[in-house]
Structure 1
Amino acid sequence: MEMDTTANERHAALKRKANDSINEILNFGQSSTSPQKRCKKAQRQKLRDIDAYKKIIKTYKAPLWYGCAVSPRDLADFGWACVKKNSVQCVECDQHLSTTLPNICKVSYNVYNCSLKEIHEKMVTAHRSTCKLRSGAPPFRLIEPTSKEIMDGIQNRLGECRTMNDEELQADIPSDVNLPKLDDVPPQFVFVSALGWQVSRLKRGSLLLGCDYCARELAHRSGNKFDPIHNHERWCPRIEMDEQGEPSWQTDLNIVLNAKNRISSRYADSAIFKEAFAARRLLDNSLSTIITPSII
């Protein structure tokens, strides 16, 4: 009798483990916790100061910053603002850090890479020991924004777009992208705004497009086609990919359109998902018929 009970417990544990593994596959890219639990967890975590990040990232512009292999986003994550050419300063402890790299044409790759690695290490060590920015900033998306928060951001970025006509800005919208419909706002303006761009009139016949997350500003001739995805800096958080290969802006649109919990069309018809669903059904039936309440 004891041997049967032990065997049943072991089988139950194995089945529960298998069921959990299948659920992880089926819920890949989806959150398994409720919004209430996520909010409670977020309250215990340090939230990112987005406004402080935007303020720092705007310092990385010419003539102070001409660009190098060190990403401004990495520097901004640790509180380093650009103050002069090849020099940054911590906004908290006022320490300075040189971002000068050797000419890659005059040194070996090993020397260049060692110099680059040293700068990344000094992003932490160059702070004062008591500086709170030594630990770096938390991720941009600790918790997912609500649909209202996302739409408020899109509406705020639209700004002058409401006074522009349909022909002033052209943008190709991918066929698989769905957009929220806004009265009296052409879809290309909604798409550009969802990608994080703010549009304003620079002068007659030209527009100014800017992104607060990568500090990119572009003068664009009115009526010409604009690519809101590839005109971001490569490190911009708005185009950052998650584990499923989905960019941040697409995740936001899915939340707005209540499509977040749907299985992506890339996976819905795949054999592995069909097999996983079938296996979970079999396990559920087995768990309900074999495991007794005393064992659970």
Structure 2
Amino acid sequence: MTYPRTRGLPTTRRTGQAPRAGTGSGFLFVMATLSCVIALAGTYYFFVRTTTGQYIDESALVEAATLNGPAERASTQFLDWLPVISVVIAAVVVLFVTIMRRRWKAAGIALVACVAANLATQLLKDWFPDRPFRGVQTIELNSLPSGHTTLAASAAAAVFLVVSPRWRPLAGFLGGTFAVAAGVSTLVNQWHRPADVVAAFLVVGAVMLPAGWLVLRTGNRWNVQDGRGDHWASSRLWALLSAMAGIASAAVAVYSLIRIAPGFGQENSTTNYFWAGVSLIVIAGYLATVAATWLFGVSARRRHAL
């Protein structure tokens, strides 16, 4: 028995109709967006409003100043070029996909969301009150979320949204790595504390996730999983690499915190807070990468099966 096809789209066995975009995935996107908002509020409260959070965050920033050398020079150059790199990457990929694949709605949504995420970061910097004094010597001006990290992560997210499902695992890994590198560089260069970077990731997630759901709703002709799991860009290897990076960073964070803990090791650390902060950035960045790849993958497969 054969089933009708609609303009080359995969069809369902039950109805023979082209799959509907976004069906059944709205709840997952709502929960993911709310999780980002709640995590953002928690990050702000702990690292800005509490003594323990301020001390951990500020200690990582202070210890970053001891890393004079090639790493700092490289991070400075990277940060200087970051706005241009982010805009060029996003513009080239989005324009190529838009023109060659005619994904006008997806490109428009992705670009608007990218601008909205960066605008939200700047507004939050102004709206959040200055850091209160909790007995920790620190700059009182609020620096959360990180603008450079938001720019890098939102550019990567825009690319992730406009590419087809088979390319998203690769785009997620490369974009996540780019955003993590930007966040770590702001810490190495003493521009931002670790919490500022994590907050930037969460802002991007809170804005880009609803945009991603809209992209799925407007992508009936291309935004479905075509079943070609053997394509190299859709390999599970990319998600596995992200997960391994997060696990390795978690191990580094645990080791650093153990060495800091009184009675267990080196209380007056010189770099342990810094490495714990770097680990926090890497874990947050790659956790977001794995979660986004899984969420969009599930949504694409679900639509294909309907």
- Which TM-score applies when normalising by structure 1? 0.25
Say which structure is richer in strand: 1
- Which TM-score applies when normalising by structure 2? 0.24
User: Larger Cα Rg: Structure 1 or Structure 2?
Assistant: 1
Say which structure is richer in helix: 2
